[in-house]
Amino acid sequence: MFELHVLGTSSARFSHDRAVSGSFLMTPGGAVLIDCGEGMQKRLLDQNKALKKSGLQIRSRMAKVRAILFTHGHLDHCWGLLPMLHTMSLDGRTEPLTIIAPTSQKAVAWALKNPGDSPPAESGVDSTDLAILFQQWQSLGSKDDDFGFKIDWVLLPIEQHSPFISPIQPLDGVELMVVPTEHGIPSCGWQITTNPAMGKFNRAKADSLSLTTEQVATLAGGEDITTDSETLMAKDFRGEVKPRRSLLISGDTIGGVQAFGELTTPPDLLLHEATFLEYKSEKAKMYNHSTTHDAARHAKVSGCQVLALTHYSSSVDDITVVQNEAQELHKRSIACSDGDVFTISRDGEITVHRRCEAWQNYSL
Ligand SMILES: [Zn+2]
């Protein structure tokens, strides 16, 4: 149902075996990228090649990407976009692409007045706001005609603290929810949730009642019918409604963010940054980042099943320490390595396939 490929687990200062942020997510309604740090298209190719050799039926194909969702404009999360678009063009892509990014009304207004410029400090707009970056990228040659496929550039002002449904929904059958986070510039997480699914139609029960083909079709379509002797309710011919499946990819954020406690659907999986270990909690606050315990507290209030940790500081050598700290507050926590693939089944079973362990898989 969902396959999440974590393709970069370093923070801005990467280390030899960790790339910067970027995840590939296959949903029932198509694929999306969440963030796109440098070298992302190479990482997708490498991952796909490794998966092909593994015998697993999971893939990370760039051609399947229908949308790119940014969590914020810091370069370690978005500087791979232009090369990615060029590679898509060289591959002969013709399908449209939607790119959605958080911003503020203030930054949008400033960018409209000063197209292509960098805002000075006194403007109160950050030069890494995606309203500013979108214009600069377009001036560097990423307009529709340059690539041969249409790009829908969507800026989403984040003016509230509570989660809200994205006004743009580029995928069929799943819902995108924007989860505002706090990182010093406009930022958000993305919650992706399957639409409610009807239970299975009980055809045998309908057939046992000597109904006409038309009456059975009406019941199967969800409408009640009245026969000569009784009214039959469509809901009585359906099995149990399947629970929605959901995951949340948070981006960078400080701890204690209100929106994590206000989700209407608890995510099965939360991918959350844990830049710092607990002993650096003051530094985490100073740089608007999370510690392992901040991530675990967000996991608890969100009601998620599994917490997956990423975005480690280069000062973190051993990620089992990250995992152990998070597990002190949230038992089902795992520290990701580059290339990990999480699968979530329709029934909510969560499994991780670890590229660093020759695709050994573990039930979480
Ligand atoms: Zn950041």
Domain boundaries, the chain: 2-197+242-363, 203-237
- Output the CA 279–ligand 1 centroid distance in Å: 20
Instruction: List beta partners, residue 354.
Output: 360
Nearest partner of 107 among 146, 152, 72, 147, judged by Cα: 72
- Output the CA 53–ligand 1 centroid distance in Å: 34
What pLDDT shows up at residue 142?
Answer: 67
- Output the CA 69–ligand 1 centroid distance in Å: 15
Q: 197-217 burial by CB neighbour count: b if 16+ within 10 A, else e?
A: eeeebeeeebeeeebeeebbe
Residue 339 has pLDDT above 80, yes or no: yes
pLDDT in tens, 2-44: 999 999 998 888 777 899 999 999 999 999 999 999 999 999 9
What pLDDT shows up at residue 144?
Answer: 62
- Output the CA 252–ligand 1 centroid distance in Å: 5
- Output the CA 195–ligand 1 centroid distance in Å: 30
- Output the CA 160–ligand 1 centroid distance in Å: 19
43 Cβ contact list (under 8 Å, min separation 6): 7, 8, 19, 22, 338
Query: Which tokens go with 46?
Result: 């490498």
CA 45/CA 106 separation, integer angstroms: 38
Q: Which CATH number fits domain 2-197+242-363: 3.60.15.10, 3.30.530.20, 1.10.1060.10, 2.60.120.260?
A: 3.60.15.10
Nearest partner of 314 among 34, 7, 19, judged by Cα: 19
pLDDT in tens, 69-103: 999 999 999 999 999 999 999 999 999 999 999 99
What pLDDT shows up at residue 75?
Answer: 92
Query: Which tokens go with 343?
Result: 């699968």
- Output the CA 28–ligand 1 centroid distance in Å: 29
- Output the CA 349–ligand 1 centroid distance in Å: 31
- Output the CA 291–ligand 1 centroid distance in Å: 14
- Output the CA 206–ligand 1 centroid distance in Å: 56
Residue 250 has pLDDT above 70, yes or no: yes
Residue type present at position 290: S
- Output the CA 204–ligand 1 centroid distance in Å: 55
- Output the CA 288–ligand 1 centroid distance in Å: 8
pLDDT in tens, 163-220: 999 999 999 989 999 999 999 999 999 999 998 777 888 888 888 888 888 989 998 8
121 Cβ contact list (under 8 Å, min separation 6): none
pLDDT in tens, 111-164: 999 988 899 989 989 999 999 999 988 888 766 677 889 999 999 999 999 999
What pLDDT shows up at residue 89?
Answer: 92
CA 66/CA 48 separation, integer angstroms: 17
Q: What is the mean pLDDT of residues 283-295?
A: 94
CA 334/CA 49 separation, integer angstroms: 25
CA 200/CA 185 separation, integer angstroms: 46
